[in-house]
Amino acid sequence: MTERAYEMTIGLEVHVELLTRSKMFCRCSTRFGDPPNTNVCPVCLGFPGTLPTPNLEAVRLGVRAALGLGAKVNLHSGFDRKNYFYPDLTKGYQITQYRTPLAQDGFIEISEPRKKIRIRRIHLEEDTGKSIHAGDDITTAEYTLIDFNRSGVPLIEIVSEPDMNSPEEARQYLEKLQRTLRFAGVSDVKMEEGSMRVDCNISVRPKGSDIHGIPVEVKNLSSFRAVVKALSYEFERQVDALKAGESISRETRHWDEARERTHPMRTKESSDDYRYFPEPDLPPLILEEAFVEEVRDTMPRLPDEIAAHYTEKLGLTEYDAQVLTLDPNLSSFFDRCVEQGADPKMAANWIMGDVLGYMNRHSLTYEKIPVSPENLVETLGLIKSGAISGKIAKDVLVKVIETGKKPSVIVKEEGLTQMSDEGELLAVIEEVIAANPGPVQDVRNGKEKAIGFLVGQVMKATRGRANPAKVNIMLKEKILS
């Protein structure tokens, strides 16, 4: 049997940190990157006698995420305790929502193949502290350092149905999820900073079989690339095992980024029993319909809606619309350019080509778009009016970014205005004709290609300032008349 004779089913559990200023159950700051154990108090350190006080904004953002993902918000939900021991867990339990989640029955639509991935539930919970393993890695370290700044940061957990059938579908789901939550202003959803964390459940079975495969959970995935690689690896591993007649064991496996393989994570000595029970310190979470409606009314526009606007109203291609809605800062940058009079198609091309190109080369994130909409729009205006060529404009844009000066100032200071004065151009054209008798003859003989060479020579002589269209016409006139 070949691997094509097997199919995989993937379900994802995604934890996302909410963009609140204070923690889920105490008012310590959620600021990322502070010195260890500086944003802590007796509550988030689990000191005896302390009690949780829930954060309104966390609930609001959870509802917003739910609405953005098309889920139904449960007006009655509640918190439960998930009991387990781990050094970065301060109370011996995590406060989460087990019996009734904040929301359920949402979906995410992916495009290749076009299908809806169902979301089973979205629930609120608190994050744990962070363990830093001193020494090489988790297996050789002698001791672990713990920072509880993250302890108690609000999370939502988004659990999908097992509706994905390839690593690529999983990647699309995650990308779309990330994009939606970013636009909704729910989270900054950064896998590299851990504000988005993904656990995969994958099961494999012979194609067409109606028996469910044994689900295996894969953890420690720090990028979308890792998700795709880990899922592909697991698929192959499980297919090999099934082919060899081995059975798959239901277990949690750890993705080893360096060795690009998974290995079993936990010893089975004490299999998990989280002893869930209703959190006795917290009365039920009861939301008013009006609260949910208010969140719905103040919901920022989401990428699908914005992309539809771009293609339908602004005439952009589907592809352009997708790229510009990768990030809310990027799309609002584009929107502001259009608002300030830029031609949408032209602005899209310049943003996707030159602006994003520059950002890529300099590893800038969407939070730091290096040019202002005003300056980009002005640059585009200079091209349109014929004041500078498109080629010159590329250099001007880089200079605008690097100096912060206005494009018109740069053009003036560096004398980059397009040469359109016929007298000035004629002098250069005559020089070029004199210096290139061969190509000139070719033009006379009707070889169209030669004219391009001559235009290039003129451009070179004018350091790109000549208007190429005009040069073309003038050259032809001079040679052929």
Partner 1 sequence: MKIDVRRVADLSKLRLTEDELLTMEKDLEMILAHIERLAAVQVEGVEPTFGSREPEGLRLEPDDPKPGLSRASLLELGPSTQEGYYVVPARESEGRE
Partner 2 sequence: MELWELSAWEIAEKVKAKEISAQEVLEAHLSRISEVEPAVCAFLSVLEAEARIAASRVDAKIAKGEDPGILAGVPCALKDNLNMKGTSCTCGSKMLEGYISPYTATAVARISEQGGVITGKTNMDEFAMGSSTERSAYMVTRNPWDVDRVPGGSSGGSGAAVASGMSALALGSDTGGSIRQPAAFTGVVGIKPTYGRVSRYGLVAFASSLDQIGPLARSVRDAALLLEAIAGFDPADPTSAERPVVPWSKRLGRPVKGLRAGVPKEFFGFGVTEGVRSAFSNALSHLADMGVIIEETSLPSLAYALDVYYVIAPAEASSNLGRFDGVRYGLSKRGKGYLDMYRETRGEGFGPEVRRRIMLGTFALSADQYEAYYLRAAKIRTLIRRDFERAFETYDVLLSPTTPTVAFKIGEESGDPMTRYLADVMTVSVNLAGIPALSVPCGFAEPSGEGGSGRELPCGLQIMGKRFDEETVLTAGYVVEPFIREEMEEKSARMRRNLILAKECEPVD
From the list partner 2, partner 1, Mg ion, none, which binds 157 (C-beta under 5 to 8 Å, kind-based)? Mg ion
Place of tokens 């009655």: 76
Q: Is residue 230 within 8 Å of residue 262, measured between CB atoms?
A: yes
* Encoded tokens for 81: 């305790």
Place of tokens 């500078």: 388
The dihedral formed by the CA atoms of 336, 337, 341 and 346, expressed in degrees to the nearest 10: -150
Q: Which is nearer to partner 2, 275 or 412 (CB)?
A: 275
Q: What is the DSSP string of 186-206?
A: S----TTTTSEEEEEEEEEEE
Q: Per rule CB under 8 A, is residue 135 in the interface with partner 2? A: no
Q: Per rule CB under 8 A, is residue 275 in the interface with partner 2? A: yes
From the list partner 1, Mg ion, partner 2, none, which binds 286 (C-beta under 5 to 8 Å, kind-based)? partner 1
Give the 3-state secondary structure of residue 1. coil
Q: Which is nearer to partner 2, 91 or 205 (CB)?
A: 91
Q: How far is the CB of 31 from Zn ion (least distance, A)?
A: 12
Q: Is residue 126 within 8 Å of residue 96, measured between CB atoms?
A: yes
Q: Per rule CB under 8 A, is residue 52 in the interface with partner 2? A: yes
* Encoded tokens for 71: 């889920």
From the list Mg ion, partner 2, partner 1, none, which binds 91 (C-beta under 5 to 8 Å, kind-based)? partner 2
Piece in contact with Zn ion (CB under 5 A), picked from 42-50, 60-68, 221-229, 246-254? 42-50
Which of 282, 299, 326, 352 lies at the binding interface for partner 1 (CB under 8 A)?
282
Adjacent-strand bridge partners of 118: 107
Give the 3-state secondary structure of residue 77. strand
Piece in contact with partner 1 (CB under 8 A), picked from 34-42, 188-196, 223-231, 361-369? 34-42
Q: How far is the CB of 51 from partner 2 (least distance, A)?
A: 5
Q: Which is nearer to partner 1, 55 or 457 (CB)?
A: 55
Q: How many residues bind partner 1 (CB under 8 A)?
A: 55
Residues 6+ apart with CB under 8 A from 360: none
Q: How far is the CB of 270 from partner 2 (least distance, A)?
A: 8
- Please tell me what DSSP assigns to residue 24: S
- Please tell me what DSSP assigns to residue 34: P
Place of tokens 């690689």: 229
Residue 339: other Cβ atoms inside 10 A = 11
Q: Per rule CB under 8 A, is residue 38 in the interface with partner 2? A: no
Helix (H) or strand (E) holding 285: strand 285-286
Q: Per rule CB under 8 A, is residue 149 in the interface with partner 2? A: no
Beta pairing, strands 252-256 & 216-221: parallel
Which of 34, 206, 277, 308 lies at the binding interface for partner 2 (CB under 8 A)?
277
* Encoded tokens for 397: 């844009």
Q: Per rule CB under 8 A, is residue 42 in the interface with partner 1? A: yes
Q: How far is the CB of 14 from Zn ion (least distance, A)?
A: 25
What's at 261, amino acid-wise?
A: R
Which of 9, 15, 41, 131 lies at the binding interface for Zn ion (CB under 5 A)?
41
Which of 12, 18, 24, 28 lies at the binding interface for Zn ion (CB under 5 A)?
28
Q: Read off φ and ψ for residue 223, nearest 5 degrees.
A: -160, 165
Which of 33, 35, 245, 280 lies at the binding interface for partner 2 (CB under 8 A)?
280
Q: Per rule CB under 8 A, is residue 90 in the interface with partner 2? A: yes
Residues in contact with partner 2 by CB under 8 A are 42, 45-54, 81, 83, 85, 87, 90-93, 144, 146, 273-277, 280-283
